[in-house]
Chain A
Amino acid sequence: MTLIINGETAEVDPVSTVAELLDYFRVSHQAVAVMANGEIVGRDQFKAFAVKDGDAIEIIRFVGGG
């Protein structure tokens, strides 16, 4: 399926939920935030929130900053 992930078009194996997408990229579910098409996906929705072809997904984490 084709997704726009962090602003870049990406071909990924089909996934059905945000949780599966994080697993596909081997991103820890701890301390990440996810937006799907501009909407924030709550942590308790990762396993339920459906990912569809063409969705724009942002996967955000904490980095060093002042």
Chain B
Amino acid sequence: MGADTAYAEMPQLKIGSYSFSSRLFVGTGKYANLEVMREALEASGTELVTVALRRVNLKNPGEPTILDAIPPGCTVLPNTAGCYTAEEAMQVAHLARAANIGTLIKLEVIGDQSLLWPDPVGTLKATEQLAREGFTVMVYTTPDPVLAKHLEEAGAQAIMPLGSPIGSGQGVLDVRQIERIRARVRVPVVVDAGLGSPADAAMAMEAGADAVLVNTAIAQAKNPVLMARAMREAVIAGYWGREAGRIPRRDDAQPSSPVEGMPHVRA
């Protein structure tokens, strides 16, 4: 398949000691059921999937677990979703490590409940502490070039700026911020949150994202498996589009056909 050939040619994306062929990371929330999720994850070609930590339902402790439905070969990236302070997020990270899932953590410290907007102060504090403890911190952040540099200096192994509010499907509202962050940090940049369509994913990649993380746009699509496949191809297209080097934008038209030698066809 053509898409698989393209994947083989893309350089591996390294995050800490982890390495990925696919540049599409996928969330596991909000699928109609685990079977659809498994099929979508397979169609996406992803090698990194996010999960959340929550209390076991003691009234139904034997219900199928999310980990059983994640295709083999995928690395699991636990998140700290739902945390509003650095301390809460650090405790959730410690719980994830206690569950024996590795050192990866998607750090989220939220400062505004209706926007799910990251709290930059708590995010920086938790990044510093968790990195010091040996976690591979992939940090969800506002699309702020200066904060991105601080997070990198604090030890983050990936900077994950939001495109727009989580689950909103508004896409990348200010693509220049992704370009600016890309120009200022050395660690991978992963556009996380708000992507609604394959075009959004391609745009983020063209702007210089090393990868994108998509959940709702796949899980809540009318056909999640088809959307997963489309996202996969969009990420590849965006990656190669950036590598190929796009033409500059101009105000006026530039004819594609020769101006000279026009036949005399006027009446």
Number of A-B contacts (CB under 8 A): 102
CB neighbours (8 Å) of B94 from chain A are 40
Q: Are B51 and A62 in contact (CB under 8 A)?
A: yes
Q: Are B96 and A33 in contact (CB under 8 A)?
A: yes
CB neighbours (8 Å) of A63 from chain B are 51-54, 66
Of all chain B residues, the one with the shortest Cβ separation from A6 is B55
Tell me the residues in window 8-54 of chain A with beta carbons closer than 8 Å to chain B beta carbons: 10, 25-28, 31-35, 40-43
Q: Are B99 and A33 in contact (CB under 8 A)?
A: yes
CB neighbours (8 Å) of B166 from chain A are 66
Q: Are A59 and B56 in contact (CB under 8 A)?
A: yes
Q: Are A64 and B30 in contact (CB under 8 A)?
A: yes
Is B31 an interface residue, CB under 8 A from the partner? Answer: yes
Is B58 an interface residue, CB under 8 A from the partner? Answer: yes
Q: Which of B53, B79, B213 contacts A60 (CB 8 A)?
A: B53
Tell me the residues in window 21-75 of chain B with beta carbons closer than 8 Å to chain A beta carbons: 27-31, 37, 50-56, 58, 61-62, 65-67
In the bound complex, how far is the Cα of B101 from the Cα of A1, in angstroms?
32
Is B216 an interface residue, CB under 8 A from the partner? Answer: yes
Give the interface size class of chain A. 20 to 34
If the complex has contacts A6-B58, A65-B27, A66-B29, are A33 and B95 also in contact, measured as CB distance less than 8 A? yes
In the bound complex, how far is the Cα of B41 from the Cα of A52, in angstroms?
43
Is B215 an interface residue, CB under 8 A from the partner? Answer: yes
Is A58 an interface residue, CB under 8 A from the partner? Answer: yes
In the bound complex, how far is the Cα of B99 from the Cα of A32, in angstroms?
5
User: In the assembled complex, how far is the CB of residue B174 from the closest CB belonging to chain A, in whole angstroms?
Assistant: 21
If the complex has contacts A31-B100, A66-B166, A66-B216, are A59 and B66 also in contact, measured as CB distance less than 8 A? no
User: In the assembled complex, how far is the CB of residue B92 from the closest CB belonging to chain A, in whole angstroms?
Assistant: 9
Closest 9 CB pairs of A and B: A65-B52, A66-B27, A66-B215, A64-B28, A33-B99, A6-B55, A33-B95, A33-B98, A62-B51
